[in-house]
């Protein structure tokens, strides 16, 4: 069997962009468990951040990112992100991503916790889809080999170095092995851990489970970002209402019509996402409701329809004209901030293993991701992965930076007295209730105990559903146990029993097998 120079697992922006760059250096195979077009990138409405506007600068972008990260961002990684952003945007333009323009210049908008308008968008609120379509078209025409409907199940490691990947053919049920020199995990997040989420159905924590089982370090799993504004209509799956809607002037009102965000934060609707999400939950509790409203009825109707065509049409298809009626919304799980720990070249602690995109923990986001830095992070560090492989430089240790590390391993847990039968529905409800936006020791203990019992009881997976459930159980346990260890509130991690931040917890919780 031929050995590939690069195998890329995943077909979001990180995976496709890496594959296109790697093709210039050797043979490439892309493995994806769905089609090449199935990924979370497609769902990214808001846009991609870059300091390219008048009066803006990479330094301002750095400052905003570090502030959002609540003391846990790796400053070197953040500086790389901000300084390389304009060049990576140029790459996307060369790949024919049609960013929106105004008077001949790229249109820029404001989003929460940014100090300047620096968010590029395409098709109004269809940025992720346009990037995904442009890159997948380039991959299809480039001759890169793509295996669709293959689910990676094991990383092959020999003498401390990646040797290849084992994957399940989801159509036939057979297992195949693919040798490689370099393996890049770009498998996305784990939003399917939660009952209410904005993610694609494929976001089942596969990369985290793969990497952890192979011996890679996993960091910052307790920080999971919830999007404040997901459409809440009975019988309709949560649909993302972009951050940019508030950036363009949308306001939040409770079910009594009161505009409440000024009561919680000086920046109102443009406060950091974790603040807005918790504020919405508090208002829902106060008013005994399962929702609040996002109001854009004061904005010109043509502006709303043209700036947010996907949101406008989706809501209209469900009987809601957002130019005339309030949008019912509630928070939903959105983005996995932690992940496979990498250095600033995308390298893990296993030689030859890299990670990029949502599955990676580069250190950029710290305890809370700044809006629209995710797509940018994927392309910036994907390019650095290929540059690193080309240079054949000696691998540096994983980053420690100025923030200390607390290493931990998954130990045995007492089996709870009552353990429900493993199922995706129970797992999602348990995470939503116990490991969600607002946490405490009892809820976290209950979730962690159930997941530990399931880990012991689950038989070896044999097909895609059982593989995905197994991956979610492991990923969810890493999340719940990390949230238990961190006895403070910081960024996207909030505990009612430890509601304040503590200097002693300015550290990374790092998992080792």
Determine phi and psi for 152, rounding to 5 degrees: -65, 130
**Residues 436, 277: contact at Cβ < 8 Å?**
no
396 burial (CB, 10 Å; 0-12 / 13-18 / 19+) is exposed
Return d(Cα 42, Cα 10) in angstroms, integer. 13
Distances (CA, A) of 51 to 25, 118, 372: 30, 6, 12
Collapsed DSSP state (helix, strand, coil) of residue 32: strand
435 within 8 A of 476, measured Cβ to Cβ: yes
Q: Residue for token digits 């960091």?
A: 219
Which of 333, 351, 499, 502 lies closest to 427 in space, CA to CA? 333
Closest CA to 148 of 33, 39, 17: 33
Give CA–CA dist 151/353, Å, rounded: 17
Closest alpha carbon to 113 in 294, 220, 246: 246
441 is a catalytic site residue: no
Closest CA to 359 of 78, 15, 36, 45: 15
Q: Among the options 232, 273, 307, 341, which is catalytic?
A: 273
Q: Which helix (H) or strand (E) holds 332?
A: strand 327-336
Q: HSE, CB side, 13 Å, CA atoms: give it for residue 57.
A: 4
Contacts of 489 (CB under 8 A, 6+ apart): 495, 498, 499, 500, 501
Q: Which two tokens stand for residue 35?
A: 């089609």
Enumerate residues 6+ apart whose C-beta is below 8 A from 345.
381, 384, 385, 387, 388, 396
How far apart are alpha carbons 372 and 445 in whole angstroms? 33
Tell me which residue of 127, 133, 53 sits closest to 95, measured CA to CA: 133
Q: Calculate the alpha carbon distances from 184 to 234, 345, 365, 384, 484 in Å.
A: 39, 12, 20, 12, 30
Do 426 and 420 meet the contact criterion of CB atoms below 8 Å apart? yes
Q: Which residues are catalytic?
A: 273
């Amino acid at each position: 069997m031929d050995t590939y120079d690069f195998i890329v697992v995943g077909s979001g922006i990180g995976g496709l962009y890496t594959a296109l760059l790697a093709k210039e250096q050797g043979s490439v195979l892309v493995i994806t468990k769905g089609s090449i077009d199935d990924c979370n990138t497609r769902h990214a409405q808001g846009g991609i951040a870059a300091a390219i506007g008048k009066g803006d600068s990479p330094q301002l972008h750095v400052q905003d990112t570090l502030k959002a990260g609540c003391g846990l961002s790796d400053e070197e990684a953040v500086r790389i992100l901000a300084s390389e952003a304009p060049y990576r945007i140029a790459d996307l333009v060369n790949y024919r991503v049609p960013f929106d323009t105004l008077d001949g210049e790229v249109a820029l908008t404001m989003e929460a916790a940014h100090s300047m308008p620096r968010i590029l968008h395409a098709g109004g609120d269809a940025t992720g889809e346009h990037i995904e379509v442009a890159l997948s078209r380039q991959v299809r025409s480039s001759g890169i080999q793509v295996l669709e409907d293959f689910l990676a199940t094991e990383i092959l490691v020999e003498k401390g170095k990646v040797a290849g990947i084992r994957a399940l053919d989801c159509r036939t049920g057979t297992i195949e092995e693919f040798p490689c020199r370099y393996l890049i995990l770009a498998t996305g997040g784990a939003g399917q851990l939660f009952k209410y989420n904005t993610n694609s159905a494929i976001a089942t924590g596969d990369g985290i489970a793969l990497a952890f089982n192979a011996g890679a370090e996993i960091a910052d799993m307790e920080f999971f970002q919830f999007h404040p504004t997901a459409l809440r209509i009975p019988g309709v799956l949560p649909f993302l209402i972009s951050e940019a809607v508030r950036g363009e002037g949308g306001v939040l009102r409770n079910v009594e019509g009161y505009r409440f965000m000024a009561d919680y934060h000086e920046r109102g609707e443009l406060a950091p996402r974790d603040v807005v999400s918790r504020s919405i939950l508090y208002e829902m509790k106060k008013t005994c409701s399962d929702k609040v409203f996002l109001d854009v009825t004061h904005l010109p109707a043509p502006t709303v329809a043209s700036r947010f065509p996907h949101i406008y049409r989706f809501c209209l298809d469900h009987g809601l004209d957002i130019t005339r009626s309030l949008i019912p919304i509630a928070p939903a799980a959105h983005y996995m901030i932690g992940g496979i720990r990498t250095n600033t070249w995308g390298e893990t602690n296993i030689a030859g293993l890299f990670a990029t995109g949502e599955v990676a923990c580069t250190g950029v986001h710290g305890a809370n991701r700044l809006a629209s830095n995710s797509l940018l992070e994927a392309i910036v560090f994907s390019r650095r992965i290929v540059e690193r492989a080309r240079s054949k430089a000696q691998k540096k240790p994983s980053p420690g930076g100025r923030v200390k590390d607390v290493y931990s391993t998954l130990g045995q847990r007492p089996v709870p007295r009552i353990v429900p039968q493993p199922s995706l529905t129970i797992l999602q409800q348990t995470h939503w209730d116990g490991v969600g936006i607002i946490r405490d020791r009892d809820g976290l203990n209950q979730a962690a105990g159930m997941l530990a019992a399931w880990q012991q009881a689950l038989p070896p997976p044999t097909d895609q559903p059982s593989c995905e459930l197994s991956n979610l159980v492991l990923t969810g346990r890493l999340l719940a146990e990390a949230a238990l260890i961190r006895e403070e509130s910081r960024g996207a991690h909030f505990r009612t029993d430890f509601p304040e931040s503590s200097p002693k917890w300015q550290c990374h919780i790092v998992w080792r097998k």
